[in-house]
């Protein structure tokens, strides 16, 4: 007799060829492409004008109930649904206003149906903005989104219309009247981003702020031998062993008369307002480096009253140069604040800066907690 035999076909093992372009692409470690400062100018946006319109409410229903044994059942048109709002929501993953579109509109409400069915409400439209976004209307501040998840209703949706059931009365048993939905609110808002960081690096061009931020964090701002290399603020995160993170912002270089909008001017002075404490970076190799500190404090005070009185530390950069060794003791005699001499190029004395930066951060956290407020966390 014949016996059934089970045949199992084994496929040959899959191999990866070293010469195959597809396999080599899968094995290759994907690295994020570095963006230069010139390219970053196209992506970083700290001003945006947005037109927001709420969704229109749905019209009321117009119908009469009728069935075989109840022909004159009366009006049964339901109300229309409300239009959707346009809501701005702060998100800490957003770092720029470049993804914000110039126009947003909420979804419209649905029309009321028969059998007293209400129309569906229009869905809300959420617009994610970075933390620290200031919302203005006609030059007046209407919202300040400083916390993650904070929301602001930019435009309200219109109310839904009334169906003919709403107009039923003893005098009018068969109303034919129904109202359309109301249009949504329309506004033109100005969004302004102010960088929210714990510490801000303040200094003149070519003082070494970008090099210092690259040395203490993983941020990669552009570094070159010409002034105004940094055209946009950069935020670097300093990590500590107890998992605390301190955000340090590299503010573009200031010049004399910056409060009068000279140079990069007021467009970047506003980023210093949100910094809890300041790190003044001066070049020790120039003659009389304490004059730089006086000019920086003057520009900050002219821009905002009391801005130069915030907790700070003076960082004397380029201490590896011969001229810096001569100017360092003179700077400490002229300045009442603590002076930390270091070299962002060679990494000398960076530990002292990191320790003092943590002390300033801990003092800020204790001060905010004593006031009953939650400190900014990264």
DSSP of 200-255, one letter per residue?
EEEE-TTSSHHHHHHHHSS------SSS----S-EEEEEE-TTS-EEEEEEPPPP-
Mean pLDDT of the chain: 80
Give CA–CA dist 185/104, Å, rounded: 12
Give CA–CA dist 171/182, Å, rounded: 27
Give me 173's structure tokens: 């048993």
How many other C-beta atoms can be found within 10 angstroms of the C-beta atom of residue 229?
A: 18
Give CA–CA dist 232/275, Å, rounded: 16
Domain 199-371 coded CATH 3.40.50.300: yes
For residue 346, pLDDT over 90 is answered with no
Question: 229 falls in which pLDDT band (50, 70, 90)?
Answer: low
- Spatial CA neighbour of 249 closest among 267, 274, 229: 274
For residue 18, pLDDT over 50 is answered with no
Backbone angles phi, psi at 263, to 5 degrees: 65, -135
User: Per-residue DSSP letters for 31-76?
Assistant: -PPP--HHHHHHH---EEEEEEEPPPPPPPP--B--BTTBS---B-
Out of 70-84, 219-233, 238-252, 340-354, least confident range? 219-233
How many other C-beta atoms can be found within 10 angstroms of the C-beta atom of residue 362?
A: 12
In terms of average pLDDT, the best of 45-54, 194-203, 228-237 is 45-54
Mutual orientation of helices 322-334 and 289-303 as an angle, nearest 10°? 50
Give CA–CA dist 181/55, Å, rounded: 10
- What is the per-residue burial (b if ≥16 Cβ within 10 Å, else e) of 284-320? bbbeebbebbebbbebbeebeeebbeeebbbbbbbbb
Out of 92-101, 163-172, 220-229, 335-344, least confident range? 220-229
The pLDDT score that the predictor gives to residue 182 is: 94
Token look-up 């935020």 returns 235
Give CA–CA dist 161/158, Å, rounded: 9
Give CA–CA dist 341/318, Å, rounded: 8
Q: What is the mean pLDDT of residues 249-275?
A: 63
Say which DSSP state 268 is in: H
Give CA–CA dist 241/14, Å, rounded: 45
Give CA–CA dist 233/200, Å, rounded: 10
Q: What is the mean pLDDT of residues 42-51?
A: 76
Alpha-carbon 109 to chain mean position: 31
Question: 375 falls in which pLDDT band (50, 70, 90)?
Answer: confident
The backbone region for 328, taken as left when phi is positive above 0, alpha when psi lies in -120 to 50, beta otherwise, is alpha
Q: What percentage of the chain exceeds 70 in pLDDT?
A: 80
For residue 24, pLDDT over 80 is answered with no
CATH class of 44-195: mainly beta
State whether residue 114 is helix, strand or coil: coil
The model's pLDDT over 290-302, given as tens digits with 9 standing for 90+, comes to: 888 888 888 888 8
Domain(s) of CATH 2.70.210.12: residues in the chain: 44-195
Q: What percentage of the chain exceeds 90 in pLDDT?
A: 28
The pLDDT score that the predictor gives to residue 214 is: 87
In sequence order, which ranges of 247-317 are alpha helices (DSSP H)?
266-269, 289-303
Question: 180 falls in which pLDDT band (50, 70, 90)?
Answer: very high
Domain(s) of CATH 3.40.50.300: residues in the chain: 199-371
Q: What is the mean pLDDT of residues 83-112?
A: 91
Residue 260 contacts by C-beta under 8 Å, 6 or more apart in sequence?
Answer: none
Question: 224 falls in which pLDDT band (50, 70, 90)?
Answer: low
For residue 275, pLDDT over 50 is answered with yes
Give CA–CA dist 314/282, Å, rounded: 7
Q: What is the mean pLDDT of residues 316-331?
A: 87
């Amino acid at each position: 007799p014949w016996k059934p035999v089970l045949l199992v076909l084994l496929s040959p093992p899959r191999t990866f060829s070293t010469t195959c372009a597809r396999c080599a692409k899968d094995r290759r470690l994907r690295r994020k492409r570095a963006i230069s400062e010139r390219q970053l100018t196209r992506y970083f946006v700290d001003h945006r004008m947005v037109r927001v319109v709420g969704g229109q409410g749905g019209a009321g229903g117009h119908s009469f109930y009728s069935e075989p044994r109840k022909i004159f059942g009366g009006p049964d048109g339901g109300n229309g649904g409300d239009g959707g709002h346009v809501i701005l929501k702060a998100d800490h993953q957003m770092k720029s206003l470049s993804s914000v579109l110039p126009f947003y509109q909420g979804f419209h409400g649905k029309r009321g149906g028969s059998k007293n069915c209400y129309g569906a409400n229009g869905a809300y439209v959420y617009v994610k903005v970075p933390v620290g976004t200031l919302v203005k209307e006609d030059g007046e501040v209407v919202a300040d989104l400083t916390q993650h998840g904070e929301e602001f209703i930019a435009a309200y949706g219109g109310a839904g219309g009334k169906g003919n059931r709403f107009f039923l009365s003893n005098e009018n048993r068969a109303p034919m009247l129904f109202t359309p939905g109301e249009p949504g609110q329309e506004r033109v808002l100005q969004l302004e981003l102010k960088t929210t960081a714990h510490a801000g690096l303040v200094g003149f061009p070519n003082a070494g702020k970008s090099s210092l931020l690259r040395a203490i964090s993983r941020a990669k701002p552009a570094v070159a031998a010409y002034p105004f290399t940094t055209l946009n603020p950069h935020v670097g995160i300093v990590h500590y062993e107890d998992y605390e993170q301190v955000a340090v912002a590299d503010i573009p270089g200031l010049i004399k008369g910056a409060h009068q909008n000279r140079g990069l001017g007021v467009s970047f002075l506003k980023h210093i307002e949100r910094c809890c404490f300041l790190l003044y970076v001066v070049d020790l190799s120039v003659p009389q480096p304490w004059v730089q500190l006086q000019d920086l404090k003057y520009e900050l005070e002219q821009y905002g009253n009391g801005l130069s009185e915030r907790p700070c530390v003076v960082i004397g950069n380029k201490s590896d140069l011969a001229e810096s060794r001569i100017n360092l003791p003179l700077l400490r005699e002229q300045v009442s604040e603590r002076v930390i001499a270091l070299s962002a190029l060679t990494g000398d004395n960076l530990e002292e800066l990191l320790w003092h930066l943590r002390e300033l951060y801990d003092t800020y956290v204790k001060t905010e907690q004593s006031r009953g407020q939650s400190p900014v966390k990264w």
